[in-house]
Amino acid sequence: MSAAILRKMLLENGMQSSILVDSAGTEALVESPSEETTIDVCKKHGIDISMHRGQQITNVMVHDASIILCMAETHRRIIRGIFPQWERKILLLKEFGMAETPQHPSIDDPTGRAKKKYEKCFLELEAEITRIFPILKELVQQEKPRQLSMLQHPPRN
């Protein structure tokens, strides 16, 4: 959802070619479509993710990304453990651009839960991406980011 929300905002602001947004996971089922509930919630907000397919994060993605924004601390910890040399650019979405760490820095994974949890997650992601959008816009004006990775939650066991 996060990558799709950011892509929509970039498009609405004529910045779609300024930042390459990617989405990957540490335990993503490669080539698997999004869950129907995720597709439905995004569609309700004017975003079509029906063609999205899951992919694993790769060394090339991490190397090429200017910033990697994770939804949850557990996810950031996994990514930093795999790619410790890139630790400084692997951040939490809710911490990005903040002077202090928020009280609840992770965004809850709605996987397998009721639709209202997906909606809550979407709205939380949208609010955070709206918050960081001016920062990203400024970075683009400084010609810094080339690729931004939005990393999803690992699946629940």
Answer whether 26's CB lies under 8 Å from 68's CB: no
- Say what the pLDDT of residue 31 is: 81
b/e map 45-74, b = 16+ CB within 10 Å:
eebebeebebbebeeebbeebebbbbbbee
pLDDT surpasses 60 at 24: yes
**With bands split at pLDDT 50, 70 and 90, how would you rate the model's confidence at 141?**
confident
Backbone angles phi, psi at 21, to 5 degrees: -105, 130
Give the pLDDT confidence of 96-140 residue by residue, as tens digits.
999 998 999 999 989 889 999 999 999 999 999 999 999 999 888
Show Cβ contacts of residue 80 under 8 Å, excluding neighbours closer than 6 positions: 86, 87, 90
Tell me the whole-structure pTM to 2 decimals.
Answer: 0.88
145: number of Cβ within 10 Å? 16
Parse the chain into domains and list their residue ranges.
Answer: 2-8+30-151
pLDDT surpasses 60 at 156: no
pLDDT surpasses 50 at 157: no
Architecture of the domain delimited by 2-8+30-151? 3-Layer(aba) Sandwich (3.40)
